[in-house]
Structure 1
Amino acid sequence: MEENIINKFTNRIDTSELVHELNKLREGINNVVKGQQKTIDLLLTAILADGHVLLEGVPGVAKTLTAKTLATMIDGKYSRIQFTPDLMPSDVIGTNIFNASTNTFEYRKGPVFGNIVLTDEINRAPAKTQASLFEVMEERQITYDGQRYAMEEPFLVIGTQNPVEQEGTYPLPEAQLDRFLFKIDLEYPEEQDELEVLKMHHQHQNPSNLIQEEFKLSPAKLKEFRELAKKVMVKEDLMTYILQLIRRTRMSSDLYLGASPRAGVALLNASKAWACLQGRDFITPDDIAYVIKPVLRHRLIMTAEKEMEGENMDRIIDKIVHSIEVPR
């Protein structure tokens, strides 16, 4: 069945079922998480593109609730790891435990073994613990004591961090930042959405009770849609356009560090996934424009002069985008 759907999608037939199912999923999450529609859209894009997400926002803007709701809505295993300065790698990936009955050591899996893994306040753990995520985020596996343990699909790491409170935090290594598909900056909700939150709490409504079964997406359907996203067509001129955008970041006088080849792959996959969410089997320049900021903003480093001037990374990305002619 899956192969037939892929073939039909490649032949550019009606994709109304995909759009209908994903719109239901989006609506179901929006019923629980108020005022974060763009964040939800980007999270759905990330899960179709098989990429991880870094959420940055002040406390109280529903970062944890969003991750937990997404896991519930796709019937996935939700796991939460609270990152702290004393967190050890074994607290994340697991460790060997001696079994007295068999007189052997057995590997006990850590909380990173899940479908939606929330690493809360990810920048509070030291470099040694951060490094424990490198392999699992890139290769979807853990190697421990010479044995490999594969992760179940889908596997999405959602890291959260607070942009304001920096005391007791560690900068995330560039190698780890590059493994996140998106960095999403969460804003405060609009007034009407915030009013809905107040009403919900006034009525003592538990957010988990607002989840409705009819809006859920089955794991089988999600797998099909993830396969469809891989089959989205990309014309040669748009492939070249993506390459030009990535290479231009390396030549920008505003940037100390430009985007890596992995960033180009991320921009391509995210554009394909976003096009898939729109019910299309081909990407357009608008798809690239929609995802380029969350794809690049955490991978680039401004020059010291630009940082001192208080420049904004999104404005630098806009400048780069406007410097390259859009394919017609």
Structure 2
Amino acid sequence: MSATLEEVKNESSQELAERVDRLRTLLNATLQGKADVIEYVLVCLLARGHLLLEDQPGLGKTTLAKALAAGLGEQFARVQCTPDLLPSDVTGFNLFNQKSQEFEFREGPVFADVLLADEINRATPRTQSALLEAMAERQVTLDTKRYPLSETFFVIATQNPVEQHGTYPLPEAQLDRFAMKLSIGYAAAEDEVAMLDRGILREGSQQRAESEAVFGPGELSELQRRVAAIHVGRNIQEYLVAFGQMTRGHAWVHLGISPRGLLVWQRCSQARAFLQGRTFVIPEDAQQTAGPVLSVRLGIDDLQPEQVIEEMLTEIPVPVQPSK
């Protein structure tokens, strides 16, 4: 049973950490053998970002999104992106009520708390822009009227790295709206065997486990506020900025990190520190989040972004002592 919002605000760090760990356990049971992916998903969520999953179909992306929404006690919605999907199919539309002789706004799926946008690169640029605007502003504007979205609105968008015929790849400026890009990848053999066993023998109990809410509506915002309060020393900030400036003049990079990208990286570093049980950021937090955060926004041609990021990190002196 989830606590009330007031109780969450009064919870000690240890009590809150225990509940976060329950959510982590729930997600790991849903997506078995992918503890590293789950950790990054939690980092992205607590940093108030949005997540881009680039992977093959059938690896558990929808299951993960549903389990996350259930664990948070939040509303889940899914959009299957296709070329004929209209912006209003995502954001909502005005419908004329003949009885009242007035237009009424019908909310679209973006008014959920957790939204899965499946194969976002199959939607047209116009529809992509409508979704990405909602992600950035957490609001929908229709006929000059603004409709606020959930304060903790979280998007998990997917795109298939193969079958690119008839798709509309996201440009770099729109990719920058995502905090992280991850790939789930295939599970190990023993984890796939366990998945088959669980699916055949304990399907009912698994569904009940996924529906158990660890947190309640509105409680995620309190978690995110605590993450934002994690201390980031000036030496850590200088470390991030030094890396950002290096990307803007690097021979392998044609699009460096923007100031917004540095802010996202700092928030994700704070989220990792929070998940590690610390009240301050250390260099390892920045290093461990660099790959997923920067690979979605660095313009690198014909090279693996993660490899380039790893090499650049070795060129910058690492702060020895964190400022507390």
Give the TM-score band, short-chain normalised: over 0.9
- State how far apart, in whole Å, the 2-side matches of 1:276 and 1:18 are: 11
Equivalence for 2:91: 93
Letter in 2 for 1:210: A
Residues 141-290 of structure 1 aligned to structure 2 (within 5 Å): 141-203=139-201, 205-206=203-204, 207-211=206-210, 213=212, 216-290=214-288
Structure 2, unaligned stretches of length 5 or more?
Answer: none
Q: Check the 8 A contact 1:24/1:216 in 2, yes or no.
A: yes
Alpha-carbon distance between aligned partners in 1 of 2:13 and 2:123, rounded to the nearest angstrom: 43
CA distance in 1, matches of 2:211, 2:94: 40
Q: Is 1:272–1:283's contact at 8 Å kept on the other side of the alignment?
A: yes
- Greater mean deviation of Cα atoms: 14-23 or 262-271: 14-23
Q: Structure 1's 75 and 295: CA in aligned 2 closer, same or farther, altered over 3 A?
A: same
Alpha-carbon distance between aligned partners in 1 of 2:66 and 2:84, rounded to the nearest angstrom = 25
SS in 2 for 1:135: helix
Please give the TM-score of this superposition, normalised by the length of structure 1. 0.91
Partner of 2:304: 312
Correspondence 1:77-116 to 2 at 5 A: 77-116=75-114
Report runs of 4+ in structure 1 exceeding 6 Å deviation.
1-6
Shift of the alpha carbon at 1:201?
Answer: 2.4
CA RMSD for the aligned pairs? 2.1
Q: CA deviation at 1:55?
A: 0.7
> Deviation of residue 66 (structure 1)?
0.3
Aligned position for 2:300: 302
The verdict on how the C-alpha distance between 1:133 and 1:211 changes in structure 2, with shifts beyond 3 A counting, is closer
Q: By how many angstroms is 1:165 displaced?
A: 2.0
Q: Is the Cα–Cα contact under 8 Å of residues 46 and 182 in structure 1 kept in the other structure?
A: yes
TM-score (norm 2): 0.92
Distance 1:166 1:41, change over 3 A: same
**C-alpha distance in 1, partners of 2:158/2:249?**
31
Q: Which amino acid aligns with 1:193?
A: D
Report the residue type matching 2:67 in the other structure: T
In the alignment of these two chains, the number of paired residues is 316
Match of 1:122, as an amino acid?
Answer: I
In structure 2, give the amino acid aligned to 1:208: Q
Cα deviation, 1:102-139, whole Å, max 9, x if unaligned, reads 11111111111110000001110111111112321111
Matching of residues 7-18 of structure 1 within 5 Å: 15-18=13-16
Q: Is the 1:28–1:212 contact (alpha carbons within 8 Å) kept by the matching residues of 2?
A: no
Structure 1 residue runs without a partner (length 5+): none
One-letter amino acid of the counterpart of residue 164, structure 2? Q
Matched, 1:35 2:33: yes
Give the 3 Å change call, closer, same or farther, for CA 210–15 of structure 1 in structure 2. closer
Which residue of the partner structure matches residue 121 of structure 1? 119
Q: What amino acid does structure 2 have at the position aligned with 1:76?
A: E
Q: Which amino acid aligns with 2:210?
A: I
C-alpha deviation, 1:33, in angstroms: 2.1
How far 1:220 sits from its partner (Å)? 4.7
